[in-house]
Structure 1
Amino acid sequence: MRGADLLIEMLIAHDVDLIFGVPGDTNVPLYDAMRQAQDRLRHVMVRDERTGGFMADCFSRLSGRPAVMEVPSGAGAMYALPAIAEANFSSLPMILITSDTPLKMEAQGVITELECAKLFETVTKGSWQVKAAHKIPEYVRRAFRVATTGRPGAVHLVLPEDVLGAEVDPASVSLHADRNCTRFPAYPPQPRAQDVASLAEMLGTARQPLLIAGGGVNRGHAGALLREVAERFDVPVVNTITGQSALADDHPLAIGVIGDNGFHPHANRAVEEADLLVYLGCRMGSVVTVGWTFPEPSAKRLLVQVDIDPAALGNNSDNALNICADVCSVLQGLLSIDATAENPRQAWIDRLNNWRSEFWRHVQPELVDDSVPLKPQRVVKALNTHLEKKPYSILSDPGTPTPHMTRLLRLSNPDSTFIIPRAFGGLGYALPAVIGAWLARPDIRPVGLFGDGSFAMSLGELETIVRLDVPALLIHFNNGCFGWIKALQRLHGHNATYSVDFKQLDAAAIAAAFGLRAWHVRTPDEMEAAFAEAFAHPGPAFIDIEVESIADVAPPVMSWLRRLGRDPLDLKPEPGLRLADRAHP
């Protein structure tokens, strides 16, 4: 067997049934091996290594399995780096395979030669060059073991072309798989019994407790367990951006989104007033804590942090209890304890729900405002109407759509998911991510949300969507600028902006040229008709909507509103706060 054949057999043994990748000069032996195994393994050809990495990222999030991406040497490896970094720092297991230049030509100036193993060392859990074909099975087992254990993350294997082509007697190597490492987290760390008992006691005695669902809840597929614990202990739940959709939005204990970007004022108020905060799978970084200013320190408030990564525990806070464990294990442990709340919680829950109702009553005028250009809030309202009917995978870019989506999107179906990359916030994620989402959950339609800055970075994957016949519904927020950056420049630069505007394209025409069914929308009536037709259309659909820029009217970002002299926790926030009129140094 060639080294490439060994690699494919080892991947299949670890339950890999698809690989994302781009053909190149150095991976010809690998493609021949994949061709021969195509009845057991599917290769998804992508149009760019970075966007292919985003597909793999989303596939891993929704499937619970390590995703595999392969790229050729040189530029292919460099193009993949942003997506691998996002996956690694988002705690997602991904295995990147770089088919590299031949070892026998090392240091001779061969084209595309690059020290790829070193390139990825700082953005992966492990990056290794395989120097002999008979070592491939050993390195593949190590890759899966490292990617799926502890805090999951990305690993990188460099396989030189001559190693892929070298022949090995299969009897001289073991092709066994590490079966425990085909899903994540493998070997999940279990909490100490006394820690779970302490947490149960704290939940029982607190008067105003809150559970905070971070991204670890969603990545651990712990939503059902979270709901059971919240109901058993009668504790309200708030969530971070990456924890959104962990609990259905219409649940009486689901209060809303906390932190800086797209927050709910009533949810942030709840955090400030709680006497116990239990952070579940949350690193308590700058967005959740609004630059470590939220909530304000209080001797009367206890903090508990549950995280699979011991390095995250107490890194940014003085916690009363740290639990290093898999979130699912902790929640299951709580459910095994026969405990009830010592203090009545109904008044606390009623107060939070009254705040929540007041907020939603107040924002109704924004949701039905038919002014032109269309407000992003109005777009979310139209989207919510259609999302009520069945589950969807919602993929959002971290740019223009973020604040209004996290604040106003309503997902009541427990099988719906909302995913947004927040480790590095790179643009261009959502459009390719719909492909990974559909490959992971082919029975659930993916919906992608992105601005025109992101669209220009990933539009080549429209061809992939059409080629694979992905029934994606893509919603494009068209405002002719890098809206988030333009808004920041206005906030910090006396209303001066520079090099953030570009031509407002007819993106629907571009999508149609790739073969998608497409609509260009300017008015409310056009939008409602487009949404109805797009959701009824069984194939890939693209809605290009001209919207008001978040650089013109301040979006719901807590730190921005503070800078503008507003109370971000006001349940009746001033609508239409124009950045151009109110920005100051």
Structure 2
Amino acid sequence: MAKTTGAQVIADMFKGYGVTHVFMVPAVLRRTFAELEFRTDIARIHTHGEKSAAYMADGYARASGKPGICMAQVVGALNLAAGLRDAWLAQSPVIAMTGGRDPRTKFRKLYQEVDDVPAFEPVTKWNATVDAPERIPDMVRQAFRAAVTGAPGPVHLQFRGNEGQIDAEEAEMEAEIDERCARVPPFRPEPEPEQVDRVLALLREAARPIFVVGGGVRNSRAQAELRALAEQLQIPVATSLNAKDAIPANHPLSVGVVGSYSRESANLTVKRADLVCFVGTEAGGMTTHIWQVPAPGIAAIQIDINPETIGRNYPLQASLCADARAALTRLMERAGTQPPVNRRAWLDEVAGLKHRWYDKYLPALTSDAIPIRPERICHELSLHTPDDAMVVVDTGHAGMWMGGMFDLRSASQSYIRSAGHLGWAFPAGLGAKCAQPERPVIVFTGDAGFWYHIAELETAVRWKINTVVVVNNNGGGNQSKRGFDRVYGGQQTEKGRELWTYTQVDFAEIARSIGAVGIRVTQPAQFAGALEQALAAGRPAVIDVVTDIEVLAPPPVA
């Protein structure tokens, strides 16, 4: 075996695993970045912050199913760790690489010396150091394997040297690539046949069953199998925010997003069910609105690839520990040998709940009020988002508005959302566009979220990452309004209002000054044309929509 540098091995392994972009703040693994130019066509995206780099890698991973790569030198490693929290919560396969301490200079107060490894422990599946060049091939290979197997998630490799200078050292080694671990899922564990029969019997016997599906369905690429089984058994489908694109809103069995950032009719439907089948979801606090939807004690089934998840939050009558697509396929095969199920009464009840929701919110969805109501933006996006588009959504009010008010109309549309970190959506949208450059990518955020990483507009312009950012610009973070009014005695005060309002800024003007397209929308009828213009611009675009700060997202119904 010939001697080669660690940088050459890393470049060859990235190429072998199908990596197309790396997101980083220099300086880290400098020799590797030179080899990426010499040996590959991988884009090296230099961002303005380590947290943004992590978010871009996360968006890339969720859009492609392949691990997203982010990097930082030792002094920026803690920022990178902070950025991995959303990937950890969303079970997204991100590989973080950082520089680290050299054993020869530890404990001597070297410039920027901090032990960063413990900071990555809470937000990674695997957290390791690379201290010898000959270990680079097996450690990088294991990073890819850990990121994509089972329930996917972030991993961290710390390379010796504050900038990871170990990559310049030579050893007898070669690239080691396991092509199965180039994307999620590399393996599809099968369910036990007798348990498949048990689950199917329970689903058939129930009078008012419902599927509650999560991001595991998305990771498994099991959307088509889910819809087919739901149609076969005539069972309505509610989704978590992570699985909003598992079934289009116009499908007769779709009831919408359930939980805290939800649609009222979805929560009411799940509450009326007599059997809930969780598929690819941990049944955590957001999806169940802190375990109120469904209520504790409901008859439940759970299908998940992670055995630690099964039965954690609800006692179960049956379960399948398997890949979501494998489990749904086996259920379909068995269901196909049995007589059809008649659920006309239950489906009519569900349809009634959905129609009542639309009737209740139609005035807001179609409102011509000025300042613009956020519901109207969501409705316009429902009508005018291209059929092949990917929609990337922030948390907070952005997540509430879009989770409940925005409808995906096509099975070819995709939806990715923040798992809890405000400001995530814009850089994540840039990463998603890098992963799927041929698809339109529309980011929905508020001014509170956009301010976090607005510097990455320059990154988008520099690298020609042509996303469209829709900013719900009301001059504040009004999700906090209710909470601050409450602590001020139940009424709004001038001093209390200072805690959640900002200076009103024209983001379209900022976008134009950086070289992006900037469009300001002040009337509802202008939005459709603005979106069309932004999508056709061939440049990064920001649509600044001036909205009513007094309009709050409706609280979840439990």
TM-score using structure 2 length: 0.93
User: Mapping of 1:305-384 within 5 angstroms?
Assistant: 305-337=302-334, 338-340=336-338, 343-384=341-382
Counterparts of 1:212 and 1:66, CA distance in 2: 26
1:167 corresponds in structure 2 to 170
Structure 2 vs 1, CA of residues 226 and 492 (structure 1 numbering), >3 Å: closer, same or farther?
A: farther
Q: Deviations over 1:7-65 (max 9, x none)?
A: 222322333232111211x532232222322x343322222111111111111112111
Contact 1:13–1:177 (CA under 8 A) maintained in structure 2: yes
2:438 corresponds in structure 1 to 443
Letter in 1 for 2:417: I
- Runs of 5+ in structure 2 lacking a partner? none
Q: Deviations over 1:273-307 (max 9, x none)?
A: 21111011111111222222232345xx4201112
1:530 Cα deviation from its structure 2 partner: 2.4
User: Mapping of 1:198-209 within 5 angstroms?
Assistant: 198-209=198-209
User: Mapping of 1:452-471 within 5 angstroms?
Assistant: 452-471=447-466
Counterparts of 1:342 and 1:33, CA distance in 2: 59
Structure 2 vs 1, CA of residues 103 and 29 (structure 1 numbering), >3 Å: closer, same or farther?
A: farther
Q: Deviations over 1:370-422 (max 9, x none)?
A: 122111011112222212x4221000110231212111111111111111122
1:13 corresponds in structure 2 to 16
Is 1:408 the counterpart of 2:405 in the alignment?
Answer: yes
1:43 corresponds in structure 2 to 44
Secondary structure, counterpart of 2:294 in structure 1 = coil
Structure 2 vs 1, CA of residues 11 and 341 (structure 1 numbering), >3 Å: closer, same or farther?
A: same
Structure 2 vs 1, CA of residues 373 and 227 (structure 1 numbering), >3 Å: closer, same or farther?
A: same
Structure 2 vs 1, CA of residues 9 and 343 (structure 1 numbering), >3 Å: closer, same or farther?
A: closer
1:495 corresponds in structure 2 to 491
Counterparts of 1:479 and 1:548, CA distance in 2: 6
Structure 2 vs 1, CA of residues 312 and 108 (structure 1 numbering), >3 Å: closer, same or farther?
A: same
Counterparts of 1:97 and 1:375, CA distance in 2: 43
Structure 2 vs 1, CA of residues 175 and 530 (structure 1 numbering), >3 Å: closer, same or farther?
A: closer
Is 1:100 the counterpart of 2:100 in the alignment?
Answer: yes
Counterparts of 1:178 and 1:225, CA distance in 2: 27
Structure 1 window deviating more from structure 2 (330-339 vs 101-110): it is 101-110
Q: Deviations over 1:184-234 (max 9, x none)?
A: 222233211111111111122211111111122122221111111111112
Counterparts of 1:512 and 1:204, CA distance in 2: 58
Q: Deviations over 1:119-161 (max 9, x none)?
A: 2112111111111101111111221222122221111111123
Contact 1:205–1:341 (CA under 8 A) maintained in structure 2: no
Letter in 2 for 1:121: E
1:27 corresponds in structure 2 to 29
Q: Deviations over 1:474-513 (max 9, x none)?
A: 1011112122223332245423535222211111111111
Counterparts of 2:528 and 2:239, CA distance in 1: 30
Structure 2 vs 1, CA of residues 466 and 233 (structure 1 numbering), >3 Å: closer, same or farther?
A: same
Secondary structure, counterpart of 1:191 in structure 2 = coil
1:426 corresponds in structure 2 to 421
1:85 corresponds in structure 2 to 85
Structure 2 vs 1, CA of residues 524 and 343 (structure 1 numbering), >3 Å: closer, same or farther?
A: closer
Counterparts of 1:492 and 1:282, CA distance in 2: 35
User: Mapping of 1:467-486 within 5 angstroms?
Assistant: 467-486=462-481
Contact 2:468–2:541 (CA under 8 A) maintained in structure 1: yes
2:67 corresponds in structure 1 to 66
- Runs of 5+ in structure 1 lacking a partner? 559-567, 570-585
Contact 2:185–2:219 (CA under 8 A) maintained in structure 1: no
How many corresponding residue pairs?
Answer: 546
Secondary structure, counterpart of 2:110 in structure 1 = coil
Contact 1:150–1:189 (CA under 8 A) maintained in structure 2: no
1:340 Cα deviation from its structure 2 partner: 4.1
Counterparts of 2:465 and 2:158, CA distance in 1: 31
Letter in 1 for 2:73: P
Contact 2:238–2:255 (CA under 8 A) maintained in structure 1: yes
Letter in 2 for 1:364: L
1:134 corresponds in structure 2 to 134
1:275 corresponds in structure 2 to 274
1:343 Cα deviation from its structure 2 partner: 4.8
Structure 1 window deviating more from structure 2 (184-193 vs 442-451): it is 184-193
Counterparts of 2:114 and 2:340, CA distance in 1: 63
Letter in 2 for 1:265: E
2:507 corresponds in structure 1 to 507
Contact 1:204–1:342 (CA under 8 A) maintained in structure 2: no
Report the RMSD for the aligned CA atoms in angstroms.
1.9
Structure 2 vs 1, CA of residues 404 and 238 (structure 1 numbering), >3 Å: closer, same or farther?
A: same
Letter in 1 for 2:54: G
TM-score using structure 1 length: 0.89
Identity level (%): 28
